[in-house]
Amino acid sequence: MKFSANLGFLWNDLALPEAIHAAHAAGFDAVELHWPYDVPAADVKAALEATGLPVLGLNTRRGDVAGGENGLSALPDRADDARAAIDEALAYARAIGASNLHVMAGFATGQVALDAFVDALSYACKQAALLGITILIEPLNSYDAPGYFLSTTTQATQIIAQVAMPNLKLMFDCYHVQLMEGDLTHKLQALQPQIGHIQFASVPDRGTPDHGEVNFDHVFGVIRDMGYDAPLGAEYKPQFPTDGTLEWLHRIKATR
């Protein structure tokens, strides 16, 4: 199996180009980012080229984080800002060669929020198609992100069907899905045609995938048997410096 280091959490004590080199040295097959916009894209691209690692994706900006925002695209009164965030993210993704963009919905509810999100996603998909980029949407659990517009895979697949663009896919984060819905392996199998990326972390503490209520050895085996061969995103929160949390990765790589 192949794995991607999510550098929003892993090695986040390092400058982003250094974190890319650290992920390569640790044996990851790819990297993914959260909000890299304060780092010049040329610096990120240079590190990616030096290591040969592909970059799987990044997120649109959250908006006014200090004011409590966590995405803009489902906020009816922030439509222009949402499009600006999409344009910025697509430009950055193109500059570094990212294959996916996660469009963040934000804290909202109701039909007007759904309409705003669908409009923003339709715009994002049309612009991304010109660049060969896939747009992702990700349900977030209501424990960590109470009030986030998108919280279940059912809701996500309904939105994907409504937007009806071939480059709109589901980001299936096992951590969020387990907390909200459970039944991970059946959901992975059923939703495989809609899935654009898979992430994981232990449940309930969002740590390394070697403890907690989910047997990730089993889950990874199911994903492998599905024929899914893209890198899986390690988006966990290290309790120690990242290099000291990678026993799970070394064990899997030693047996593959």
Q: 117 lies in a domain?
A: yes
Q: 16 lies in a domain?
A: no
Cβ proximity of 7 and 16 under 8 Å: yes
- pTM, to two decimals: 0.97
**pLDDT tens digits for range 218-236:** 999 999 999 999 999 999 9
* Residue 33 CB partners (closer than 8 Å, separation 6+): 6, 7, 8, 16, 44, 55, 57, 58, 59, 98
Structural domain of residue 67, as residue ranges? 56-206+224-229
Q: 38 lies in a domain?
A: no
Q: 40 lies in a domain?
A: no
Q: 241 lies in a domain?
A: no
The pLDDT value recorded for residue 99 is 98
Q: 48 lies in a domain?
A: no
Task: Label residue 254 by pLDDT band (50, 70, 90).
Answer: confident
User: Any idea what DSSP says for residue 203?
Assistant: T
Supply the DSSP string of 124-159, one letter for each residue.
HHHHHHTTT-EEEE----TTTSTTBS---HHHHHHH
Q: 67 lies in a domain?
A: yes
Residues labelled as active-site residues: 138, 235
Measured from the Cβ of residue 240, the count of other Cβ atoms closer than 10 Å reads: 9
**pLDDT tens digits for range 34-91:** 999 999 999 999 999 999 999 999 999 999 999 999 999 999 999 999 999 999 999 9
Q: 235 lies in a domain?
A: no
**pLDDT tens digits for range 15-42:** 999 999 999 999 999 999 999 999 999 9
> How many domains does one find in the chain?
1
Write the CATH number for 84.
Answer: 3.20.20.150
